[in-house]
Amino acid sequence: MTRERNGKAFRTLLANVGHEFKDPNLLHRALTHASALAPSESVQGSYQRLEFLGDRVLGLVVASMLHAQFPKADEGELARRFNQMVRRETCAEIAEEIQIGDAMQIGQAEAQTGGRKKVALLADMCEAVIAAIYLDGGFEAAKAFVERLWSPRMLSFSGPLRDAKTTLQEWAQSRGLPTPHYDVLSRDGPDHAPRFVVGVTVKGMKQGQGRGGSKRMAEQDAAEAVLRREGVWKE
């Protein structure tokens, strides 16, 4: 891509983002891959540190949106909606919508291997853009950007909303099987932010595993893993 075309792509992206940057270099950095930089510049000059921050900003905004939009939803339903909205594929779809791919600053080798279309890279740079907006304009600016692009997906979500543990128990009973059994397989992390791994066993089936910040969340995740594996729940 020529410098002129890249500049045009950047301006198009800037218009699609809808935020007037006081420091456009933040957005440039959010779009810069390490392959376009000298090794000594790759940490400070690439999108990666911004992606780390943007992931957290996105999570907070989406969680707040769901909390406000679905006041009667329990934790399990909110978690399923949340996971759908912040997953890599959703972020990549939004990156394509605002045309991040054309504005990427990537090395020739990365470009030749389809870097501008890679889901992982599009998703990461989308989160980096959120961080750039946050650093430039504050939380409200980042919130406005996320709400504008993620709200339609929040309202159109059509995935399973029922409690996974209840669904798995009812499904097992409908097949004449005993109630699923849950075991904590591991617990690590500090007391204020633990991580649980839980296994669920349904008689005659391979154990399913789930992870979460609480035992309950990990159990729900494990039950969902079995439901998806067995085709009871589908995307």
> What is the average pLDDT score of the chain?
89
* pLDDT at residue 39, as a whole number: 76
Q: What percentage of the chain carries pLDDT values higher than 90?
A: 60
pLDDT at 1 over 70: no
- Cβ contact 153:167 at 8 Å: no
Token pair recorded at residue 140: 């409200």
Residue list for the binding site: 51, 124, 127
Choice among 110, 127, 163, 224 that is catalytic: 127
CB atoms under 10 Å from CB of 40, counted, come to 8
Task: Give the Cα separation of 212 and 63 in Å (integer).
Answer: 16
C-alpha distances (whole Å) from 198 to each of 73, 114, 193, 220, 233 are 23, 38, 16, 9, 20
Q: What pTM did the predictor assign? A: 0.70
Q: What is the pLDDT of residue 87?
A: 85
User: Is 127 considered catalytic here?
Assistant: yes
How confident is the model at residue 160, as a pLDDT?
64
pLDDT tens readout for residues 125-184? 999 999 999 999 999 999 999 999 999 999 887 666 667 888 899 899 999 999 999 999
AA identity, residue 189 = G
> What is the C-alpha to C-alpha distance for residues 52 and 60, in angstroms, rounded to an integer?
13
Segments making up each domain of the chain, as ranges = 3-156, 164-229
The 10s digit of each residue's pLDDT in 214-223 is 888 899 899 9
Is 126 buried (19+), middle (13-18) or exposed (0-12) by CB count in 10 A?
Answer: buried
Q: What is the pLDDT of residue 75?
A: 82
The CATH fold of domain 3-156: Ribonuclease iii, N-terminal Endonuclease Domain; Chain A (1.10.1520)
In the chain, the largest separation of any two C-alpha atoms, in whole Å, equals 67
- Positive or negative: CA dihedral 226, 230, 232, 234: positive
Q: Is the pLDDT of residue 202 over 90?
A: yes
Kindly tell me if the per-residue pLDDT of 2 is higher than 70.
no
CATH number given to 164-229: 3.30.160.20
pLDDT digit string, tens, across residues 95-124: 999 999 999 998 888 888 888 998 989 999
Task: Return binding residues for Mg(2+).
Answer: 51, 124, 127
**Per the residue annotation, which of 20, 23, 41, 55 is the catalytic one?**
55
